[in-house]
Structures are given as C-alpha cells and as structure tokens.
Amino acid sequence: MPDGIRAVTVPKWGLAMTEGTVVAWYANEGDQVNAGTDLVEIETPKITNLYESPASGVLRRRVAQVGETLPVGALLAVLTEEEVPDADIDAFVAKFAAEFVPESVSESGAEALKPQTTEIGGRRMRYLKMGDTESTPVVLIHGFGGDLNSWLFTQPTLAQEHPVYAIDLPGHGGSSKQVDRGDLAFLASAVFELMAALEIERAHLVGHSLGGAAAFELASSHPDRVKSLTLLAPVGFGPDINMEYVEGFMRASRPRQLRPFVEQLFANPALVGRKMLDDIISYKRLDGAVEALNIIAGTVFKGGRQAVDLAPRVAGLAIPLQIIWGEGDRIIPSTHLNGLPASVRAHLVPGAGHMVHMEKADEVNDLIEAFLRI
C-alpha cells in the first residue's frame, strides 16, 4: 500500500456476514476524521451498525455509494494521513478494484455454520456451536423473544478461545414452543438438560435479559456445573420492566407495527434494520410462538412487575459473577445494577441500550473475554 494511503473496507461482523449495504455516510470527502469516530452506517442481514473509522486522516474518497451492497473486504473509502495527489488516489482505487477477490462462501465459514437440533424428552432444542478448542465451553442464552442469532457479534469472538454454544430457549427460535409454566426453573432445567445431552460438564454461562435470569437460576441450582456467570441487562435484579415494550412486541404482526418497540431495545434506534424486524415477525408466526411468549411473560412479568428477585441470592452464590448493563437501557433500567455486593463485577456501558452486546459488541466482548480468563 502506498505511503500515507489507507483503505477502509467493509467489515465482517459475525462469521455469517458476507456483504453489507451502505446506509449513510457520517463524514464528507475532505473531512478530517479520527480513529473511532462514526464513519459510515452499514446494514447487514441482521443489524444496521455504525462503522467507526479504523484510523485517523483525511477522508479523501467515498468509494461506496449509499444504497450499494458490497462484499466483506470491498473498498468503502480512502483515508490519507498526509498530502497525496488526486491521481494517486485514483490509481489506488483502480488497483484495489482490480485486485480485490471477495472471499467465497466456503471460506467465510457461513456454509459450515448451521444450527443443530436435538430431541430431549420429546422437546426439540436448537443450538449453534462454534469453536473447537479444548478449554471450558461457553453457553450463550438469549433474552425474551430472541434467539441464538442475537449473539452474532459475540459468538465468533469468544469462539477463538472456547467452544461456544448459542442456544434457543424453549418457546424461542427453532426450539419447541412448549414452555410448561414458563418460569425460570423450567427454562434453567431446559438449559441444564441440553448441556447434559451435549456432554458439557461445566460451562461459563452468558445470559442476556430473561436468559440472564435463567443462567442465574441454573448456576444456583447446579453450582458444580457453572464456572462463571456473565449477565447482560438481566431480569431478576429489580422490579421494573417496560411492559409497553413486552406487550407491543407480542402484539405487533407487521414489521411497521413492530419497529417502534424493537427500536426501544437500542440506544440508537437507527440500528434496527428491516431484516431484523422480518426475522422477529417470521418467528412470531411459528405455531405456538406467541402463546409461549404469553405464558413466559405472564409468569416472569406477572402484573407488569418483575416477579422474581434474584438479588438476595447473589451473596450466597459461590461462582464469579459479572453484570454488564447498557446505560441507556429502556427495557430494564440500569439502576438495577445499584446496591449489589462488592463481589459482583459491575460494568455500565455508555451509549448502549438493552441489546448491549449488539450495540457495543467490542466492549462487551472484551469484558467477557477478560472475565473468562480469571
């Protein structure tokens, strides 16, 4: 690469990502940009996300136009750190275009990564495994109405050092929609049985929201099977829950009705792409899905308040516990983080809402990775 010229390319968010669509530019040609400032908004099949400038310099060329869909690794823009003539920029762009070869589907790993299902006691459970190392496995448990895809920015990173299983709770994703009473004990036992079926003796649990409470329940009932516990914006640590969100999420049958509710999951509502809404609607149309959500919500959020209080049980838990919360969480307030024992590693992430692991993936991944090494 010529001195002082830097290519900015389509990033790869999650192993399954093969292309991205440019939604908006946040800097104009000629602007000085700094490393880490918002540069361009990119839509993937799962989420729209802000891409921060990987370096500082002058934005000399916006190669990709708004609306354009490009493969991972394709040239988005050209930054320069010093004076470079326009002709050199033109030559750089032409050379990049001539030499660029998008990675094939097989190279990207997207083909090999298919969720599996297993039958346990007449119940189908779906999970996705990534990573083949010998270290302690990690089990990722999504929240209310979510599925294993909500870990797309988390799982590939953690899988570099651990076998990582993202699972679908009963009632969710590709798992069976029967949820019995729909309480935490049931959800925790379903996870426990899946771990047993997959011969996972002991795991680090990472749970988000409802999945956080299920992970806590599992850790307190089977402490020998859990090595550490990371909870993201968990249910069970205070009375408040945004019922307008819960009810709106269950009620909406069209993407346009759903959008204002799903936007509440993020500090930056612009991250909600059409594909994300379509995926949720498609899940809600499955036989039994909305009924399952109703049963769970009726139990866990009975009367519009959180029915379970896990906080008093924290002191008795002999497993390392960290809790991460998005400061701008509009579903469960981050004030639930207050007043926990000092043994809990608590982190407040600025600029993130309820989906803290999607919205500030790098930061949350760093916190989880550091915690797993302890």
* Binding region for another protein (CB under 8 A): 67, 174, 253-256, 274, 282, 285-287
Closest separation in Å from C-beta 14 to another protein: 17
In whole angstroms, the minimum distance from the beta carbon of 268 to another protein comes to 19
Instruction: Name the residue nearer to another protein (CB basis): 130 or 231.
Output: 130
Q: How far apart are CA 9 and CA 204, in angstroms?
A: 34
- Going by DSSP bridges, is the β-strand pair 48-52/69-71 parallel, antiparallel, or unpaired? unpaired
Report the relative pairing of strands 116-120 and 69-71 from DSSP bridges.
unpaired
Please, which residue, 275 or 345, has the CB nearer to another protein? 275
In this complex, which beta carbon is closest to another protein, that of residue 28 or of residue 65?
65
Q: How far is the CB of 140 from another protein (least distance, A)?
A: 19
Based on the number of CB atoms within 10 Å of its own CB, is 112 exposed (0-12), middle (13-18) or buried (19 or more)? Answer: exposed
Q: How many residues does the chain have?
A: 374
Residue among 255 and 320 whose Cβ is closer to another protein:
255
Of 11 and 255, CB closest to another protein:
255
In the complex, minimum distance from the CB of residue 174 to another protein, in angstroms, rounded to a whole number = 7
C-beta of 176 vs 334, nearer to another protein = 176
Task: With beta carbons less than 8 A apart as the criterion, state whether 124 and 174 touch.
Answer: yes
Report the nearest approach of another protein to the CB of residue 177 (Å).
8
Listed residue (141, 260, 267) closest to 210, CA to CA = 141
Q: Smallest distance, Å, CB 285 to another protein?
A: 4
Q: In terms of CB distance, is 256 or 373 closer to another protein?
A: 256
H or E segment at 7? strand 5-9
Nearer residue to another protein within complex by CB, 282 or 338: 282
User: Shortest gap between Cβ of 126 and another protein (angstroms)?
Assistant: 10
Residue 24's contacts (CB-CB under 8 Å, 6 or more residues apart) are: 40, 41, 66
Angle between the N-to-C axes of helices 274-284 and 255-263, in degrees from 0 to 180, rounded to the nearest 10: 110
Residue 323 CB partners (closer than 8 Å, separation 6+): 230, 231, 232, 234, 237, 337, 340, 344, 345, 346, 347
What angle is formed at CA 243 by the lines to CA 239 and CA 245, rounded to 5 degrees? 130
Count CB neighbours of 103 within 10 A.
Answer: 14
Closest among 113, 7, 122 to 70, alpha carbons compared: 7
**Shortest CB 230 distance to another protein, Å:** 28
